[in-house]
Structure formats: C-alpha cells, structure tokens
Amino acid sequence: MRRSNTRPWAAGWLAAAVAARHVAGLRHLRRSLEWLAQPVSEAEMTDTPVHMIVPVLREQQHVAAALEWFTALLERMPGSTLTVVTTAREEHERQHLAALLAEQGDQPVTGRRFPQLTAAELDTVVAAQAAAPGHALTRAHAATVLGRFPLTRDVVARELEGDRYRGAAVRHVHYPGDGRKAAQVNHAVTHLDADSQSYVAVYDVDSRPTPEVMAATLAFIGHRRAADGALPAVLQQPARHTTRATSPHAWERMICRGAADLQTLWTLRREIPYVRRYGQMIGRAGRLPWWDAVRAGVSQLVGHGLFVRGDVFADLGGLPDFTVLDDVPFGYRLTMERIPVESVPVTLVADAPEDVRELLAQSRRWFQCNLDYPKVARAARAAGSGSMAAHVAALAVCFYRGAAWLSASPATAACLLVAVDRRHRPPVRTAAIAALAWGVAVPVVVLTRADRQPLTAGGITRRSAGVLAAYLLRSIGPWQAVARTVAGRPAGPFAPKANSRTVVDPRNGKDPR
C-alpha cells in the first residue's frame, strides 16, 4: 500500500506534541496520587468555625437530603454554621419557562427539550398540554401549571420548620436579586460573622463532604496554622467525579462514565498541580517578575469545596458576580493579589452528568470562564490589582489552557486517524499510538489501581473506550461557547443545569431511587 507523503511532518509533530503533553500529565497524575495518599493526623484537627453556604436554584427535590447531610456534619463541627441561600431569580426563570412552553404550540413537551423540568413537572405539563384547546398552552396557563409546584424557598422554609432543625445552626437566607451563584453567596456572607479566625465554605446542593473529608480538612488547617502562625487564606477540596449509570442507553452510560473519569484525571493531572505549583511559587521573587508569574500560573479553583478565610473574603469584596461562573475568575483575582491558595490532600466525590446532552451543556458553561478572562482582567486592572506584566503573563497562561481544551477533541481524533491509517510511516503511527496510550489507557490503569479495583482486560478496555469517547466530545461544548460568543448570543436566563442530578440519601450515601 502506498504511504502518504502529504505533510507527514505535520502528523508526526502533532502526535509527538500530544504524546509529550500526556507524558507530563501522567507524571502529574502519579505525583498527585502520592500526595493524596499521605497520612493526615487528626490530632492536629482544629475547631476553627466553618460557615458552609449552599446556594440553591430550582433544587426542590434536593433540599431535604442536603439539609440532613450538612446538619449531620455540624454536629461534629462545634461553632460552624450552615446557610442555605435561595434566590428571586427562580421566580423570573419560571416565568421565562412558561413563555417557552407557550412557544411550543402543539409540539410535544419532552424532557429532552425541557431538561429544566423535574419528572413531576414534566408529567403535569404534558397532561395540561393534552387537555388544552388545540393542545397548546398559553403563557398564563403554563405559569399556572408550574405554579402548582412550590419554589425552592418554600421547600427550604417548610423543611426548617420541623423539629429536626430546631436549635441547629442552620439559617435560610433569600437573595432578592437576579444575580447568579456568586451573588447569592455574597449576600449570604453579609448575614455571617466571618472573620480572620473562620472560613466561608461554598458547596453545591449535591455536594456530599463526608465527616472524614471534613476532619482531614480541619486537621490540615490546624497543621498549617501551627506551621505558619495563621490560618491559610484559601483552601480547595479537590473532587473525584462519578456517575450512577442512570441513563437507559448503554452507549450513553459508557460515555458519561468516561467523561467522569476524564474529569477526575483533569483534577489529578491539572487542577491539583496548578494549585500546588502556584502555592510554591507565589512567595518567590526572582529577577524576572513576568517569568515568575508565568511559572506560578493562575490559581485554578472550582466552585464547591472552596474555603475562603473570612477576612480575605471581605477584603476582596466577595466572589466576582459579573461573570457567568465565579470560581475560576476568583482564582484569577487571587493570583493578581498574590494570595496563597492550598489544595487539601483529600478528595470529595462529585456527581457527573448522566446524559450526553447535559455533559455538553456543562462543558459549554464551564468554558465560558475562559471567555470571561479578559473581562476579569479589565476589572482587576480597574481595581488596581496586579501589574501589567502579571496580567499579560496570567492571560497567556489562561489562553494556553483554553487552547488546550479547544484542541483536545481535534488532537485526539487526529491521533486516532493517524494510528489506524497504514499510509503513514511507522514512526508517525507509533507516535500517535503512544499519544493515545499515554493519554487514555495508561491513566485508566493508574486510576483503576488507585481505586483498588481488579485489573481485568475487559474492564480496562471498556473504561478506556469511555475515556476515549469523552475525549472526542470534550471540545464540543467549548466550541459551542465560542460560537455563541462570536454570534453575540449571551447566556440564557436559565440556570445552566438540568433537573436530573442524583439524589443521595444522607443515611447511607446511596441513591434511594
């Protein structure tokens, strides 16, 4: 068979570059797992108050389980509190949803078209549409149907009226504005006595920090305070992601499991190393400040399991509320202020999307942070935060990370095509195969061993196939976000999530369904 002579160097260099990146990632993966395996002495556990804040929006079915879980944690954490923050944005979103239902006319209302609807809401809307004249809902009729279901604030208030929470350090705060999660958190903090001797801790409603995770975190805080003479400024609890295989389609379960593994790999290969490198470099001052800024990178935070010391939160004016998401922009602000961030050597377990549509929507939403970096940089410069050299270096790092995300799927697809195309020369195909192996198969083996699961050929093959499929889909959401931005289409008014996340029973940590 004739070998291809069409730019063979391009395919070879691409495969070599992807392989080199995955080799570096594999090294970071092993180091992160070794770091997480280090023992944490609970003898150093501190009694530092932690003010846990859980912002909720269209979370009616998750409130009871979340309240029970976090309240049980409070029993082990004297002086700590829990604040559940509802928002008036939910009422406005409900009106918008009613308008969208009316626009459907006589077209069937389905869960795929309206993932914001719960199963009960969907059944009720479908029945109402079937009984409506011409099988079409008016906006007023749709609003009336949706109004049969309580708002999240009503559910929270009802739950807290019970004897279970009487006397518990749990409060309900209602945010009267239309802002997103960051605005809810900032509003909640105004009702707290957070200071330099306490933390504001942000969690999602489906976050489930176990007593062991919290004990390890408090022990880490105590250790750092003993070593440094002060409480750490900012802490991040990293997360490992999992699914519960709720999709009825085997192919979708495989892809979503692979995407959860891939997100876990990102945590271990990128997030934890980013934070640790930033923490190691932030106190150093070399002869080239801009190079120090490049080496330090940008602190990469996520929006749950985030601990911010009370005085630091106040000094920074809270989380940035002018962007779609707040976690990564907040990390940028910390970087400009050269505020240390530390990663706790313990992992949460976080639920990942259970269907491909939600998976793509999540990545589209997350990538918006990368598109918001220029806006965040302008705001920081206007506030006098960071030098021009620091901003240029940080934006270069952010650009590189965004470009790597956008190129993940095309680069993986290209390596796959080169690996199976016999027209390419053996060294080029070998480089492509090595890139796929070091990026997919070897990390899966490492994860399987770390999870103490059996290493079987079938299991590794299936898990690797899922990660490979997730890689091929990884860049779709980000490219959609870029296309929407270029087209001038702002983020919609809906909370960017579907109402299909798993409910966890706080008594045993399992799905009760």
E strand or H helix at 30: helix 8-36
E strand or H helix at 310: helix 310-315
C-alpha 31 chain-centroid distance: 22
Q: Report residue 287's pLDDT band, with 50, 70 and 90 as the boundaries.
A: low
The answer to which of 64-78, 106-120, 277-291, 445-459 has the lowest mean pLDDT is 277-291
Reported as a single tens digit per residue, the pLDDT across 11-36 is 889 999 999 999 999 999 999 999 99
Mean pLDDT of the chain: 89
Whole-angstrom distance, CA of residue 278 vs CA of residue 399: 17
Q: Report residue 150's pLDDT band, with 50, 70 and 90 as the boundaries.
A: very high
Provide the pLDDT for residue 300: 84
Whole-angstrom distance, CA of residue 244 vs CA of residue 263: 15
Whole-angstrom distance, CA of residue 245 vs CA of residue 396: 39
Segments of 110-233 assigned E as strands: 170-175, 199-202
Reported as a single tens digit per residue, the pLDDT across 157-200 is 999 998 889 889 999 999 999 888 999 999 999 999 889 999 99
Q: What residues contact residue 72 under an 8 Å CB cut-off, 6+ apart?
A: 211, 506
| Residue 507 tokens, joined | 């008594």
Half-sphere exposure of 341 (CA within 13 A, CB side): 34
Read off the DSSP letter of residue 504.
-
Print the SS3 string covering 85-123: EEECHHHHHHHHHHHHHHHCCCCCCCCCCCCCCCHHHHH
Provide the pLDDT for residue 7: 59
- CA neighbor of 298 nearest in space, from 224, 377, 363, 240: 377
The answer to which of 1-5, 199-203, 283-287 has the lowest mean pLDDT is 1-5
For residue 217, count CB atoms less than 10 angstroms from its CB and return exposed for 0-12, middle for 13-18, buried for 19 or more: buried
Provide the pLDDT for residue 162: 82
Whole-angstrom distance, CA of residue 57 vs CA of residue 193: 24
Pairing outcome for strands 239-242 and 199-202:
unpaired
Whole-angstrom distance, CA of residue 471 vs CA of residue 85: 35
DSSP letters, 260-299, are: HHHHHHHIIIIIHHHHHHHHHHTT---S-HHHHHHHH---
The answer to which of 87-91, 398-402, 497-501 has the lowest mean pLDDT is 497-501
Find the mean pLDDT for residues 191-214: 93
Provide the pLDDT for residue 328: 82
What is the rounded end-to-end Cα distance, in angstroms, of the chain? 56
Would the pTM of this model clear 0.75, i.e. be above it?
Answer: yes
User: Do 345 and 38 contact (CB within 8 A), yes or no?
Assistant: yes
Whole-angstrom distance, CA of residue 15 vs CA of residue 431: 5
**What Rg do the C-alpha atoms of the chain give, in angstroms?**
24
Reported as a single tens digit per residue, the pLDDT across 304-350 is 899 999 999 999 999 998 888 888 889 999 999 989 999 999 999 98
Provide the pLDDT for residue 41: 74
User: Do 84 and 181 contact (CB within 8 A), yes or no?
Assistant: no
Residue ranges covered by each domain of the chain: 1-48+231-489, 52-195
Whole-angstrom distance, CA of residue 51 vs CA of residue 45: 17
DSSP, collapsed to helix, strand or coil, labels residue 84 as strand
Whole-angstrom distance, CA of residue 501 vs CA of residue 244: 10
Phi, psi of 50 (to 5 degrees): -120, 120
Whether 497 has a pLDDT exceeding 80, the answer reads no
| Structure-token match 């990146």, residue found | 21
User: Could you tell me the strand order of the sheet in which 50-55 lies?
Assistant: 170-175, 81-87, 50-55, 199-202, 306-309, 234-236, 341-343
User: Do 48 and 197 contact (CB within 8 A), yes or no?
Assistant: yes
Read off the DSSP letter of residue 210.
-
For residue 116, count CB atoms less than 10 angstroms from its CB and return exposed for 0-12, middle for 13-18, buried for 19 or more: buried
Provide the pLDDT for residue 141: 95
